[in-house]
């Protein structure tokens, strides 16, 4: 069986090198330095063979917004097994150690971004958000004429100079959006991390801050532009890294800037919400290509604490039978009543696996869709509709950052 060891600060360079090697990358010193700023050495783990690190994993302490509140989260990251050392049980052993570590840290929820989405269901992680790639042909779209626009244009500058304006906007938008994460410590610096070797020919990252009617910041966008020409003239590309706004007017002001840039033909936004408002403020939707992919995978480690941390769309009295094969002690039978969850011996109303419970936790994945796929069983007539209504969130969950 693979032996997973907790690392120390002295092991961090070897840890980073092995993790990048598992992804067939070379560890760039600038990226390593940034990764180390957000990584707790005491929560990094490895498997060694012949004295060399061949498998890696880490937990990042974050706070996750859920419907009606927040919950402490173990952000599972840096998962990798070096080529030539796979299929030996290293990943399974690493995941078990990471989940135990998160539980020991008092984190009721774990979450991750998957390089390959098929891997993590067996560990109890369910797909809880979607990440949508928008591609807009700018010569064929325009803002609707009935959209209210702000009087003042956005202020455009470097992200570092704009950082103090970005922080409070993000904090307020994040508080109302399930799936978003806190950005304490160096997390903001990592979000605007923009070394030249990662730009793929684009210019430097820029920040646009949209003021509200009172002159205070009400929205922002992080973006970069990439110059290109072809036989038809300018064919530049705008790449949106993130866009957040507190009001429709602020959002419209930011899109007015992004859609109106000179020498640009196409706009791409890779980590957008599943149903972003941009689709409803534009004319020419046939020039908007929208492709949904996997977003944040969520796993409940303490069902009682996790389900008690969020609110519900309607009052519900439900007994859930949770089959958790990877962590049997995490599963069992739970009663959800008046927004509180506790273990119970009462008859179950619904039966589902840990993966399905993680998928519905943030309120974005419809419980009815999982039931139609045979992954949720209704044991009491009417319980499925009751649970499906209660678990849905009025605000679509969205996680705009990969960690």
**Residue numbers annotated as active site:** 120, 403
Nearest-angstrom CA–CA distance, 29 and 42 = 21
> For residue 361, what are the contacts with CB-CB under 8 A and spacing of at least 6?
66, 109, 126, 128, 298, 300, 306, 307, 310, 391
Per 3-state DSSP, the chain is made up of helix, strand and coil in percentages (nearest 5) of 30, 35, 35
Nearest-angstrom CA–CA distance, 357 and 365 = 10
Cβ(101)–Cβ(74) below 8 Å = yes
Tokens of 171: 């904090």
Nearest-angstrom CA–CA distance, 214 and 302 = 44
The DSSP bridge partners found for residue 15 are: none
What are the strands of the beta sheet with 350-353, ordered from one edge?
A: 340-343, 332-337, 317-323, 350-353, 376-378
Query: Which residue from 167, 222, 164, 189 is spatially nearest to 33, judged by alpha carbons?
Result: 189
Angle formed by the axes of helices 29-38 and 12-22, to 10°?
110
DSSP character string of 342-371: EE--SPPSEEEEHHHHHHHTTS-S-HHHHH
Element housing 230 (H / E): strand 229-230
Nearest-angstrom CA–CA distance, 269 and 89 = 37
Q: Please give the DSSP secondary-structure letter assigned to residue 181.
A: B
Contacts of 56-60 with C-beta under 8 Å, sequence gap 24+, read: 56/15, 56/18, 56/19, 56/22, 56/80, 56/94, 57/4, 57/94, 57/95, 57/97, 57/98, 58/98, 59/98, 59/101, 59/102, 59/105, 59/107, 59/110, 60/403
């Amino acid at each position: 069986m693979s032996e997973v060891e907790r690392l120390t600060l002295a092991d961090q360079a070897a840890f980073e090198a092995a993790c990048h090697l598992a992804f067939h990358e070379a560890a760039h010193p600038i990226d390593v330095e940034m990764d180390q700023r957000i990584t707790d050495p005491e929560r990094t783990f490895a498997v060694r063979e012949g004295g060399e690190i061949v498998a890696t994993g880490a937990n990042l302490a974050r706070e996750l917004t859920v419907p009606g509140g927040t919950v402490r989260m173990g952000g599972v990251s840096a998962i990798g097994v070096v080529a030539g050392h796979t299929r030996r049980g290293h990943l399974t052993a690493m995941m078990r150690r990471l989940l135990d570590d998160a539980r020991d840290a008092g984190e009721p929820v774990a979450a991750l971004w998957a390089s390959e989405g098929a891997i993590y269901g067996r560990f109890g992680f369910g797909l809880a958000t979607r990440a949508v790639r928008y591609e807009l042909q700018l010569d064929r779209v325009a803002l609707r004429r009935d959209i209210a626009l702000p009087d003042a244009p956005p202020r455009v500058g470097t992200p570092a100079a704009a950082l103090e304006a970005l922080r409070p906007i993000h904090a307020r938008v994040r508080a109302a959006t399930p799936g978003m994460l806190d950005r304490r410590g160096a997390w903001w610096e990592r979000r605007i991390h923009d070394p030249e070797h990662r730009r793929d020919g684009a210019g430097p990252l820029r920040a646009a801050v949209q003021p509200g009617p009172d002159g205070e910041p009400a929205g922002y966008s992080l973006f970069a532009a990439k110059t290109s020409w072809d036989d038809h003239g300018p064919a530049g590309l705008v790449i949106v890294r993130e866009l957040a706004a507190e009001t429709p007017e602020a959002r419209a002001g930011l899109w007015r800037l992004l859609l109106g840039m000179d020498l640009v033909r196409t706009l791409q936004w890779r980590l957008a919400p599943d149903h972003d408002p941009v689709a409803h403020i534009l004319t020419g939707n046939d020039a908007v290509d929208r492709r949904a992919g996997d977003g944040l995978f969520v796993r409940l480690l303490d069902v009682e604490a996790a389900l008690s941390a969020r609110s519900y769309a309607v009052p519900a009295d439900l007994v859930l039978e949770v089959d958790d094969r990877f962590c049997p002690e995490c599963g069992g039978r739970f009663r959800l009543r008046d927004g509180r969850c506790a273990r119970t011996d009462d008859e179950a109303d619904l039966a589902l696996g840990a993966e399905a419970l993680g998928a519905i936790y943030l309120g974005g994945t419809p419980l009815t869709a999982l039931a139609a796929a045979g992954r949720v069983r209704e044991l009491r007539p009417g319980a499925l509709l009751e649970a499906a209504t209660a678990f849905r969130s009025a605000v679509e969950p969205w996680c705009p950052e990969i960690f």
